[in-house]
Chains A and B, each alone.
Chain A
Amino acid sequence: MNSSMVIGQYVPGDSVVHRIDPRAKIAVIFFFVIIVFFANSVMSYGLLTLFAVASAASSKVPLPFIMKGLKPVWFLIIFTFLLHLFVTRQGEVLFSLFGWDIYEEGVIQGAVLSLRFFLLILVTSLLTLTTTPIEITDAIEELLGPLKKVRFPVHELALMMSISLRFIPTLMQETEKISKAQASRGVDFRTGSFKDRIQAIVPLLVPLFVSAFKRAEELAMAMEARGYQGGEGRTKLRELKLGKRDFILFAVFLLLVVGLFVTRN
C-alpha cells in the first residue's frame, strides 16, 4: 500500500493558489463559470484566458497534472469544434474539404465554444488540484450554512463527506485483502470474457459490503460514545479565515468582470 496515497487529484504544494481560502476559490470559480458565457469579443476572451492561464501558472502545479485533468474532455472539445466546423452554414465559404464547404462562421463558432470548454475545465480542475478534499468539504459546509435555516442538513452532509474521505483508503485496503483472499481460492479477476469478469466481482463485493455495514455500525456507536449529538452546540477545530490574499483575489476578479463588460461588444 502506497503510504503517500492521495485521494482525488490534489497536488500538494505551497503556492498562492493553494493557500487561498477554499471558500474564496469556490466562489470565484462559480462566478467565473458564469461570466465565461458573457464573453463575445476577442478582447473579452483574451482577458478570461489570461486570468485562467495566470491562475494555473501561479498554482505551480506541474503541467502534466493539469493536462491529466483535461484528458477526459479533450474528446468533447475537439468534437464540439468539428461539429461546428461542418454543420454551421453562415458567413463566407472559406474552402472546401472533401467536397464539404467550410464556412467562416463555423470556424469561429467552433473555436469559441472549444475555448469556453477549455477555460471551464481548466479553472474548475484547478480547484481540485490545489485544494484538499477535506478543505473543499469545510468550504461547502460554510457556504451552504444559510441553508440550515430551511432545515437543510448541511452539517450532516459535510460529516458524511468527511467520513467517506476518511474511509476510502481503509476500504481500498480491505478490497485488496479480500481480492487476494478470493484469488487464493481460485477466483480469476483478470482473464475470461467481460461477463466472467463481472461475475468474478460478486465474491469481492459481497464481503466488502458486509464489512462496510459492520464498520458503519461500530463507527456510529463509537461516535455516540464520544458524545456526538448532531451539529448543534458543536465547536470546530478546523477554521477558515479570509485573509489579505483572498481579498486581493476578489479585487482581481472584480477587475476582470469590469474589464469583460467593457471589452464585450
Chain B
Amino acid sequence: MSHIEFRNVSFRYQEDSPWVLKNVSFTIGSDEWVAIIGHNGSGKSTIAKLMNGLLFPQEGEILVDGETVKPDTIWNIRKRVGMVFQNPDNQFVGTTVKDDVAFGMENHGVPREVMIERIQTSLEAVKMQDYEKHEPHRLSGGQKQRVAIASVLAVSPQYIILDEATAMLDPKGRKQIMRTIRDVQEEQNLALITITHDLQEVTEANRVLVMNEGEVWMEGGPRDIFSKKDQLKEIGLDTPFVSQLAEQLGHAGIKLSREPLHHEELLEELWTFRSNM
C-alpha cells in the first residue's frame, strides 16, 4: 500500500482554461527516486502540487499510501509528503535556521523536546549543524535549500518532492544539493521525486517520467530515456552532453555497447571499446 498513485487524473486551473493534466496515471514506490521532466507548461509542477494537496484534481484520484488526497486528509498527507520549492528565499519562514527547521514540526504539534532532538539530527543530515543560529540573509542559496531539505526531513516524511529545487542555484550550490539528496536517499528509507530541468539530476534517478502537454509521454530508466534522443528532441528536450557526445561518436563509427550517463561511464565505454578493437 505504500506508494503514491495517480489514477486517471485530469486537472485545469479554471473552468474555461485548457487542461493542464490529461488523464494521467502512474505509481511511485516508497523507496524510489523518480525524476519528472518536461518543458515549461508540460504539467510537471502541477503534479507536485497535486501530490500534497496544494491543488485538487477535477477528475480522477490521487492516493498516498492508500489514502485519497482530499481537503480533510491533507494535513495527514502533508506529514508524509514533504516539498522543497524553487526559490530558496521564499520558503524560509523562521528568523533563524533553527526556527525554520522547527516551523513544520510546530505546525504538526510535535512536542518541544522531540523538536530539539530532530532539529539536531536533520541539520546533521544536510551538514548544516554549524549554522543553527544563522539568519537567512547570512546564508547562500545552496545553504538555504539545504535548510529547506532539513526542515522537510524533520517532519520525517515518506516522500520528498523537489520542485526545481536547484533551478535558482549556481553550479556549486547545485552540486551541494545533489550530494545532500543522494546521501539522504541512501541513509533514510524514503522516496524522492525530483522535478527538474537539470539533466544531470535526471541521470541519478531510478526512473524518469517525461511529461508533454499534460500527458505522460515516456517512462523508463534514465538510460532508456536518453537513448531516444530523436523523440526527446521532438518535444523540445535536450539530452545531457555525454549522451550527445556518444551519439556523435556513433555517427563517426564508434558504436558503444550502452548509453553512457556520465563521464566515468563514457570513459569506461571508450576504454572497453578500444580494447575490443
Asked, given contacts A173-B137, A227-B75, whether A233 binds B104 with beta carbons under 8 Å apart, the answer is no
Contact B112 A218 (CB under 8 A): no
Asked, given contacts A218-B90, A235-B112, whether A169 binds B135 with beta carbons under 8 Å apart, the answer is yes
A234 adjacent to chain B (CB < 8 Å): yes
B19 adjacent to chain A (CB < 8 Å): no
Contact B112 A226 (CB under 8 A): no
Number of A-B contacts (CB under 8 A): 93
Contact with A along B86-107 (1 / 0, CB 8 A): 0101111111001100111111
**Chain B contacts for A63, CB-based, 8 A:** none
A150 adjacent to chain B (CB < 8 Å): no
Contact B137 A169 (CB under 8 A): yes
Contact A215 B93 (CB under 8 A): no
Contact B95 A225 (CB under 8 A): no
For B77, give the chain A residue with the smallest CB separation.
Answer: A227
A5 adjacent to chain B (CB < 8 Å): yes
A229, B75: Cα distance in complex, Å = 8
**Chain B contacts for A166, CB-based, 8 A:** 92-95, 135-136
A78 adjacent to chain B (CB < 8 Å): no
With a 10 A CB-CB cut-off, give which of B54, B91, B98 has the most chain A CB atoms.
B91
B interface, over-half SS:
helix
Contact B95 A237 (CB under 8 A): no
Contact B135 A237 (CB under 8 A): no
Contact B137 A225 (CB under 8 A): no
Contact with B along A209-229 (1 / 0, CB 8 A): 000001100110111111111
Contact A134 B112 (CB under 8 A): no
Within 8 A of A (CB), among B56-95: 75, 78-79, 82-83, 85, 87, 89-95
Contact B137 A237 (CB under 8 A): no
Within 8 A of B (CB), among A216-265: 218-219, 221-229, 233-239
A50, B245: Cα distance in complex, Å = 81
A204, B267: Cα distance in complex, Å = 52
Contact B90 A234 (CB under 8 A): no
A87, B105: Cα distance in complex, Å = 62
Contact A237 B91 (CB under 8 A): no
Q: Shortest beta-carbon distance, B183 to chain A, in Å?
A: 22
Q: Which of B52, B82, B137, B155 contacts A5 (CB 8 A)?
A: B137
Contact with B along A3-18 (1 / 0, CB 8 A): 1010000000000000
Asked, given contacts A166-B92, A170-B136, A221-B54, whether A226 binds B107 with beta carbons under 8 Å apart, the answer is yes
B108 adjacent to chain A (CB < 8 Å): yes
**Chain A contacts for B92, CB-based, 8 A:** 166
With a 10 A CB-CB cut-off, give which of B75, B135, B137 has the most chain A CB atoms.
B137
Contact A237 B99 (CB under 8 A): yes
Q: Which of A228, A229, A237 contacts B112 (CB 8 A)?
A: A237
A97 adjacent to chain B (CB < 8 Å): no
Contact B54 A224 (CB under 8 A): yes
For A172, give the chain B residue with the smallest CB separation.
Answer: B137
Contact A219 B93 (CB under 8 A): yes
For B85, give the chain A residue with the smallest CB separation.
Answer: A222
A57 adjacent to chain B (CB < 8 Å): no
Asked, given contacts A169-B137, A226-B78, whether A218 binds B110 with beta carbons under 8 Å apart, the answer is no
**Chain A contacts for B108, CB-based, 8 A:** 227
A162 adjacent to chain B (CB < 8 Å): yes
Asked, given contacts A169-B135, A224-B54, whether A215 binds B79 with beta carbons under 8 Å apart, the answer is no
Asked, given contacts A234-B107, A235-B111, whether A225 binds B54 with beta carbons under 8 Å apart, the answer is yes
Q: Which residues of B are at the interface with A, using a C-beta cutoff of 8 A? A: 52, 54, 75, 78-79, 82-83, 85, 87, 89-95, 98-99, 102-112, 115-116, 119, 135-138, 151-152, 155
Apart from the given pairs A169-B136, A239-B112, 9 other A-B contacts in the complex at a CB distance below 8 Å? A163-B93, A225-B52, A226-B155, A227-B79, A236-B112, A237-B105, A237-B106, A237-B119, A238-B99
Q: Which residues of A are at the interface with B, using a C-beta cutoff of 8 A? A: 1, 3, 5, 134, 162-163, 165-166, 169-170, 173, 214-215, 218-219, 221-229, 233-239
A sample of 26 cross-chain residue pairs with beta-carbon separation below 8 angstroms, ordered by A number, consists of A1-B137, A5-B137, A162-B95, A169-B135, A169-B136, A170-B136, A215-B90, A218-B85, A218-B90, A219-B90, A221-B54, A222-B90, A224-B54, A225-B78, A225-B82, A227-B79, A227-B107, A234-B106, A235-B105, A236-B106, A236-B112, A237-B99, A237-B102, A237-B115, A237-B116, A239-B112
Closest 4 CB pairs of A and B: A222-B91, A237-B102, A218-B90, A169-B137
